[in-house]
Chains A and B, each alone.
Chain A
């Protein structure tokens, strides 16, 4: 099978996807489990206060 995506582009795509997911995971771990009051997130209704 011939892969037509250049190596640099493939790495760029990977980085663009991995960096935000990693960031989101770190924020979840830090702020949900580490620093008390959690953030409001997409999906929280206006009446859901941070715990």
Chain B
């Protein structure tokens, strides 16, 4: 790696690291577009490096929660088969984009089909995440856990499973597996840890308390990160030196973010977070525009 590439990697790690520091969620949704657009890293490698980097961050998070006695593993293991299947599906879909030279005709210009499709999927996913954040804010996910009736409480889809995290209720195993499948697909195919989707899904759909949902998601993200990193590494999608620089930048960024976060209210932080998601969509749109312009020249 050249010095310039190292500096760019540390800077990207720093920017993305501020996100867990400020908002308490991973920054995969921002790291992949930044690596692809500003560092010229191919999308599969960006996703693989992001999985490895997030494994480091999640390890720290999980060790912290473990020290506080807040780790719950049973529900995470119940989600795991679906997550693993989703991971592999996502990674296989990503692999298909590697060697494709098909083009997509848009207004008479030939765009690389796979990259354009991936970026459009990413764009749609980020808008979905923005909607999830909006729903979380609207329903105030942090409060009234006990009073909330799970949206899937009436679902008749056996077999059912019980777990201490479900607080006395039973959950449909196929529904849990489907949630794991979606989260795993996002992780394997797009480098998103999935916590942004999994925490509200566990809270609203299955009635898991917010703090427990966070603890379950940490364990589940660790398992997903572990297998995602191994699978991406097997396929040559992980650039280890790049991951090390991202980890360094990420740690420094998280320190800075933690420092800044104490000065702002959670409402303001949530608003900024929505801004960060929209900034990511802006980066993707800029890249799509670049592809479109280049196709015409």
Residue A49 lies at the interface, judged by CB distance under 8 Å to chain B: yes
**Contact pick for B24, options A9, A12, A19, A42, CB 8 Å:** A42
Q: How far is the CA of A16 from the CA of B233 in the complex (A)?
A: 7
The minimal Cβ–Cβ distance linking B272 to chain A, given in whole angstroms, is: 10
Q: In the complex, what distance in Å separates the CA atom of A21 from the CA atom of B238?
A: 15
Q: How far is the CB of B283 from chain A (nearest CB, A)?
A: 21
Cα A27 to Cα B254 in complex, Å, equals 11
Q: CB distance A20 to B24 under 8 Å?
A: no
Contact with A along B195-220 (1 / 0, CB 8 A): 10000000000000010001101100
Q: How far is the CA of A50 from the CA of B24 in the complex (A)?
A: 11
Question: Is residue B22 contacting chain A, with contact meaning CB distance below 8 A?
Answer: yes
Structural contact, B52 and A45, CB atoms closer than 8 A: no
- B55-83 interface with A by 8 A CB criterion: 55-61, 63-65, 67
| Chain A residues numbered 12-51 whose CB sits less than 8 Å from any CB in chain B | 12-13, 15-17, 19-21, 23-25, 27-28, 31-32, 37-50
Name the contact of B60 in the complex, choosing from A15, A41, A49 (C-beta under 8 A). A41
Contacts of A9 in B (CB 8 A): 234
Interface residues on B, range: 35 or more
Q: Is B243 an interface residue (CB 8 A)?
A: yes
Distance in angstroms from A35 CB to nearest chain B CB is 9
Closest 10 pairs (CB-CB, A-B) = A24-B59, A44-B24, A46-B266, A20-B56, A41-B61, A16-B233, A20-B55, A28-B63, A24-B56, A24-B60
Residues of B within 8 A of A (CB): 20-26, 52-61, 63-65, 67, 142, 193, 195, 210, 214-215, 217-218, 221, 225-226, 229-230, 232-234, 238, 240, 243-244, 247, 251, 254-255, 257-259, 261-262, 266, 269-270
15 contacts between A and B (CB under 8 A): A13-B234, A17-B229, A17-B233, A19-B56, A20-B229, A24-B57, A27-B251, A39-B257, A40-B23, A40-B24, A41-B60, A41-B61, A42-B26, A42-B218, A43-B215
